[in-house]
Each structure stands twice: as C-alpha cells, then as structure tokens.
C-alpha cells in the first residue's frame, strides 16, 4: 500500500505548462463522459462560495467571523465516499452545513438565482451609460459571473433534489464513457473479458462518485473540509490532507466505488481523484505541488494508486495568484516571480472576479429545467 510512514504523493496529469492568457468573453467549457464528475464538482465549488457569501452576510455573523470566512477560491474532490472541499479561508468550518441547507431549500435557491438576475438587469442599464471600453468590459464580466453562479447553483440543486435529473445525468455519463471507451480501444487486441472489465470499471467508478457527491450534498450527508492550513491554495489543502491520511483514504475509496472482495470486477490499478473548482489550477499550484511532492516522498516506496485528474479550461489555463503568505521558501520565491509578472495594475487580476469567472461551464444536458 505504500511506505511505513503513510506518506504518499498523488500522481498528477498536467497537460501543458500554464500560460498567462487574457479572459475571452462568452467562452465556455464542454463536459462529457468521465469529465461529468468534474462538472458537478465545479458547480459544487461555486455553490460553496455562494453559501459562504450568505453566511458572511447574515446579521448574526460578526464582522470578525465574516472576515475569517473571506475566500475567493474553492476546489472540490470526491474521495473516500464523500465530498471534500478546500478553500483558502481562515475559517471555512461553516460551509458544509450552510451548503446543505441552501441546496435543500428550493425557495432559497430561487431567491438567490433571482437576485443574480436582478443584479444583471441593473448592470444592463449601467452598460448603456458606460464611458469607456474598460468599464464596459468590467460590467460584462460581472454579468457573466452572475449568470454563471446562477446557472451552477440551479444545476446543482436539480442534481441533488430531482431524482429524474440525477438518474438521467448518471445514465448519460455512463453512455458517454462507453462511447469514448469504444473509440479509444477500436484498434486494440485485448481479450473480451479485459475489454468489458475495463469499461465496467470506468463506469462503476464514475457512477459511484456521482452517487457519493449527491449523498454528501443532501441534508445530513458527509462533507469534509480540507485541513485549514494558512497560506495554502484550496487545492494544496486537499492534496496535503489526502497525503496525510493516504492509506485510509485509498481503502475507503475502494469500498465506496464497489471494489471489494465481493466485487465481480478486478481491483483497478489506479483510482481517479478528480479535482475541480471555481478556477483551473494555476501555475503557482503546479510549481509548489511539485516542491511539496519532494517533502512527501520520504520513504523508498513513493507509489500511490491515486491519480489526480484535473479538467482544465483550455482557454484559461492560468489562475489568479493567492494573496496570502507562503511558509515554504520555494513557494515564496516563485510567488514573488509571478507577482512581478502581474505588477501592472491594469493586468493584475482582481482576486474574486478572476477566480469566479474561470468556472464557467456548459450543462449541455437536456434534463435540466428552469427553476
């Protein structure tokens, strides 16, 4: 299972180095097949930030507590049979309960969605009287973010609350996985049993992840917040939390996905650990993650069955910089280098706007309905 200290490093798939690219209005991300889990995780991360905003705005929330909850970023994964969310807030312990409460209240969801629509109506009027292209771009961007948050929340609510939507979504996911699998293995010579085992294993794993996600998001479900480590990205918190409890997480994940001694399928050689959130991983995450792997690899056996899957928006491969302080020396060095690239006030991304605009994705699924 791993070294005796239980310290492991999840493998990562990073297709390309991050590029600093400007945002392209109205460009959205299509999801299908195995990426459907990432799609739901994106909705989840957006909804977690909305729930966090509602908590901060409550009359019973003190000014100090609201400040501790402040965060521009959320990333999510499904592992060990439950949802795990990471933020870079000083205190995010309230998010699970408030997220579940929001998703269980159809009237509250409608109210939040309506509020985003009302904001956009006001912004439409502002757009008519904008005095410069820069001002118009900012207004359009905020309108886009509002529409995105409204869409993600309504889609997640239906995924959680509507059995018909969930069942159709799961069926579509399995069919898309099969279609892709057939294409990928058209020219292979594997045996019929290996072929079917490979297909069923993928379908079973991703169906289980969708069920686990839905179960976690329902009232009384199990949602874990990644350990609160100041000065760390949301994704970094998740990775380090899993590394710290690696063997336990692997066993729980196998059980949750149906790979037990009673399973008719052979145990898979690896377990996908899908991570997705309000933005793709940025260059800062990728560089510091590699540095952190060196710390984790203290034993002779560094292997892990966990394979981290990131489904990045190809148009926006770079995320915003984390504004906190990094403890690791290499983190500090890289952070300062990247900050220099954004020294120009006109190009330096505004934390909240940049984080949320990168989560835009298309449902491309007929079962979703207007609230």
Mean pLDDT calculated for residue range 292-298 = 41
Stated pTM of the model:
0.78
Q: What is the mean pLDDT of residues 156-185?
A: 94
Range in 185-189, 206-210, 277-281 the model is least confident about: 277-281
Distances 199 to 116, 182, 195, 270 between C-alpha atoms, Å: 41, 9, 6, 14
pLDDT bin (cut points 50, 70, 90) of residue 307 is confident
Q: What are phi and psi for residue 287, nearest 5 degrees?
A: -70, -50
Q: Evaluate whether residue 5 is within a structural domain.
A: no
311: left (phi over 0), alpha (psi -120 to 50) or beta: beta
pLDDT surpasses 90 at 286: no
Contact between 306 and 11 under an 8 Å Cβ cutoff? The reply is yes
Determine the average pLDDT of the residues in 337-358.
44
Least confident of 16-25, 79-88, 159-168, 226-235: 16-25
- Tell me how many domains the chain contains: 1
Is 147 among the domain residues? yes
Q: How far apart are CA 38 and CA 191, in angstroms?
A: 31
241 to 225, 270, 280: CA distances (angstroms): 9, 19, 19
Q: How confident is the model at residue 204, as a pLDDT?
A: 94
**189 within a domain of the structure (yes/no):** yes
Burial group, residue 156, by CB count within 10 angstroms (0-12, 13-18, 19+): buried
Q: Is the pLDDT of residue 114 over 70?
A: yes
* CA diameter of the chain: 67
CA distance linking residue 92 with residue 85, whole number of Å: 10
* Mean pLDDT value of segment 69-79: 86
**Residue 365 covered by a domain:** no
CA–CA gap between residue 159 and residue 164 (Å, rounded): 9
Q: Tell me if 360 sits within 8 A of 29, measured CB to CB.
A: yes
What pLDDT does residue 164 have? 95
Q: For position 274, what pLDDT does the model report? A: 83
Per-residue CA distances from 317 to 15, 135, 272, 314, 358 (Å): 10, 25, 21, 6, 9
The reported pLDDT for the residue numbered 121 is 95
Please say whether the beta carbons of 247 and 74 come within 8 A: no
The dihedral over CA atoms of 237, 205, 15, 339, expressed in degrees to the nearest 10, equals -20
The pLDDT of residue 267 is above 60:
yes
Mean pLDDT lowest for which of 116-120, 145-149, 200-204, 283-287?
283-287
Q: What is the pLDDT of residue 327?
A: 55
**Average pLDDT for 21-32:** 47
pLDDT band at 296 (very low <50, low <70, confident <90, very high): very low
Which pLDDT score, from 0 to 100, does residue 334 have? Answer: 55
Helix (H) or strand (E) holding 12: strand 11-12
Q: Which residues contact 267 (CB under 8 A, 6 or more apart)?
A: 254, 259
Most confident of 68-72, 149-153, 237-241, 295-299: 149-153
Q: For position 300, what pLDDT does the model report?
A: 36
Locate all alpha helices (DSSP H) within 18-132, ordered by sequence. Answer: 36-57, 63-68, 95-103, 106-128
Residues contacting 95, CB < 8 A, separation 6+ = 48, 51, 52, 55, 85, 87, 223, 225
The predicted structure's pLDDT at residue 303: 59
* Cα 258 to Cα 78, 153, 209, 252, 253, distances in angstroms: 14, 29, 11, 10, 9
Question: Is residue 69 in some structural domain?
Answer: yes
If one compares 131 and 344, the residue with the highest pLDDT of the two is 131
pLDDT reading at 162 higher than 70: yes
Q: Can you give the pLDDT at residue 369?
A: 64
Residue 362 lies in a domain: no
**Residue 72 pLDDT grade (very low, low, confident, very high; cuts 50, 70, 90):** confident
pLDDT exceeds cutoff 50 at 362: no
Query: What is the percent of the chain where pLDDT is above 90?
Result: 37
Per the model's pLDDT, the better-predicted residue between 292 and 106 turns out to be 106
Residue 214 lies in a domain: yes
Report the DSSP pairing between strands 306-310 and 82-87.
unpaired
Q: Which domain holds residue 265?
A: 11-357
Q: Note whether residue 318 is domain-resident.
A: yes
Q: How far apart are CA 254 and CA 239, in angstroms?
A: 18
Residue with tokens 């299908």: 32
CA 307 to chain centre: 15
Query: Which range (20-34, 213-227, 275-289) has the least confidence?
Result: 20-34
């Amino acid at each position: 299972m791993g070294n005796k200290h239980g310290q492991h490093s999840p493998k990562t798939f990073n297709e390309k180095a991050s590029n600093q690219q400007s945002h392209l209005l109205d460009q959205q991300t299509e999801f299908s097949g195995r990426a459907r889990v990432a799609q739901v995780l994106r909705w989840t991360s957006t909804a977690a930030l909305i729930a966090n905003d509602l908590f901060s705005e409550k009359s019973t929330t003190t000014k100090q507590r609201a400040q501790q909850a402040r965060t521009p970023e959320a990333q999510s994964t499904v592992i060990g049979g439950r949802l795990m969310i990471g933020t870079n807030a000083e205190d995010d312990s309230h998010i699970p309960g408030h997220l579940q409460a929001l998703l269980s209240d159809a009237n509250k969801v409608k109210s939040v969605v309506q509020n985003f629509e009302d904001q956009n109506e006001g912004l439409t009027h502002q757009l008519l009287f904008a005095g410069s292209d820069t001002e118009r771009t900012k207004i359009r961007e905020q309108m886009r973010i509002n529409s995105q948050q409204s869409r993600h929340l309504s889609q997640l609510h239906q995924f959680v609350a509507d059995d018909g939507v969930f069942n159709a979504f799961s069926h579509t996911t399995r069919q898309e996985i099969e279609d892709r699998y057939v294409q990928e293995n058209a020219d292979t010579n594997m045996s019929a049993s290996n072929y079917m085992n490979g297909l069923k294993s993928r379908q079973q794993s991703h169906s289980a992840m969708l069920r686990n996600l839905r179960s976690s998001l329902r009232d009384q479900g199990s949602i874990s917040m990644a350990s609160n480590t100041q000065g760390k990205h949301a994704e970094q918190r998740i990775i380090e939390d899993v590394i710290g409890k690696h063997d336990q997480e692997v066993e729980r994940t196998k059980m949750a996905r149906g790979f037990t001694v009673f399973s008719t399928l052979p145990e898979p050689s690896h377990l996908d650990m899908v991570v997705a959130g309000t933005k793709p991983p940025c260059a800062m995450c990728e560089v510091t993650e590699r540095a952190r792997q060196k710390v984790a690899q203290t034993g002779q056996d560094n292997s892990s069955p966990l394979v981290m899957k990131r489904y990045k928006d190809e148009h926006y491969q770079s995320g915003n910089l984390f504004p906190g302080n990094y403890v690791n020396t290499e983190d500090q060095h890289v952070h300062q280098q990247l900050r220099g690239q954004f020294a120009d006030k006109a190009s330096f991304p505004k934390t909240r706007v940049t984080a949320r605009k990168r989560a835009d994705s298309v449902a491309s699924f007929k079962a979703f309905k207007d609230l």
